[in-house]
Structure 1
């Protein structure tokens, strides 16, 4: 598939803290004549400087960055507020309905899973530049189903304890459950909340607590 031809080229800037991923994406996007890669960044601070220095049509950003960077939802909101005409497309290694809904609600124009064919990014850019939103076809039905999966009472306990700074071992001891059980409940809760790591959980504390309250 080739990118649609526009008047001029589509100026794309990329943000990803993994050098190999970033170089791979840049190399792939450069094979499309209608796309112009104006820059790439390993962190959000450098990326903001890039955006301030030149016009960008599409920002292609990783959802989960380093611990000192904002979480994906916060970053999408701030970019949309600062550059309302710029299209924002999020890529993530983790793809699930709750995560995608949260990203789109924050103002993103599209979502691409890192497990997808790289050409899906081209489809997402095409959709964004023609006034449409893009989500992976496999997630479209999940997106239409409405509500996020509900946390169980025990999953809620685990998430609250994690946010209070307890480790999995400490939580297991507190509730008299095995490490395997607590780890499984943590993994299940992360999937339902669209969270990929402990750092992301802490960075998204207020969003996560609001979601947990909705599930209680």
Structure 2
């Protein structure tokens, strides 16, 4: 094997739960090539550390404490300042839209906290080799949405192919109207009155749009609000 494939991989961990950090550190330390360079409970600690000592991989929780930066903006910050560092996102709660946003923002992988330790190790090896890593079940969900024309993503899951994955362009014109109004704070009843449509019709268009975007609850729409409402260049 080449010297490159055998080099040690330095890893920094970010999670706002001490026990999660301790568990991750223990699991990853079992691999002979992995070196844990630091564990951090907030993004400021991580960013300050990376200024002095960059690492090969950062593993971050997508949902940090309410007072901390949100996952997408942290990913973008890390990608902008440390483009040579691979970003692997670890989260207990996620959906296809969130995964697509993370990859579009610059993450190279997204994996659930419930996955086996061996899979986490495989994910680290994949992202450090500049591959995209998504757990099998999520890959299947993305593939199914692509099959139905509901997400602009293709089989190799490269960053270029996921950059438009979460977009209002995937929706019909009427679905776009409903979601835009909903995200500005209007209720389904108010939207129905605005467009002179029935409550049932508006509700159905909203649910169809959410399904196409890969979200199941209203609060998930607001998590990706900024990304949805910004202009997308074709």
TM-score w.r.t. the length of structure 2 is 0.67
Paired residues for 1:12-27 under 5 Å: 12-27=11-26
Aligned to 2:227: 207
CA distance in structure 1 between the aligned counterparts of 2:216 and 2:52, rounded to whole angstroms? 32
Unaligned residue ranges in structure 1 (runs of 5+): none
Cα 1:35–1:121 change in 2 (3 A) is same
Paired residues for 1:47-86 under 5 Å: 47-86=46-85
CA distance in structure 2 between the aligned counterparts of 1:117 and 1:92, rounded to whole angstroms? 13
CA distance in structure 1 between the aligned counterparts of 2:50 and 2:218, rounded to whole angstroms? 27
Aligned to 1:6: 6
CA distance in structure 2 between the aligned counterparts of 1:164 and 1:82, rounded to whole angstroms? 32
Unaligned residue ranges in structure 2 (runs of 5+): 152-169, 193-198
CA distance in structure 2 between the aligned counterparts of 1:100 and 1:196, rounded to whole angstroms? 16
Residues 109 and 132 of structure 1 are in contact (CA less than 8 Å); yes or no, is this contact kept in structure 2?
yes
Give the 3-state SS of the residue equivalent to 1:23 in structure 2: helix
Shift of 1:173: 8.3
Cα 1:196–1:30 change in 2 (3 A) is farther
Shift of 1:124: 0.9
Cα 1:38–1:148 change in 2 (3 A) is farther
Give the 3-state SS of the residue equivalent to 1:122 in structure 2: helix
Residues 127 and 134 of structure 1 are in contact (CA less than 8 Å); yes or no, is this contact kept in structure 2?
yes
Q: Per-residue CA shift, 1:147-174, capped at 9, x if unaligned?
A: 546779799858855x5568xxxx5886
Greater alpha carbon shift after TM alignment, 148-157 vs 82-91:
148-157
How many residue pairs get aligned? The number is: 199
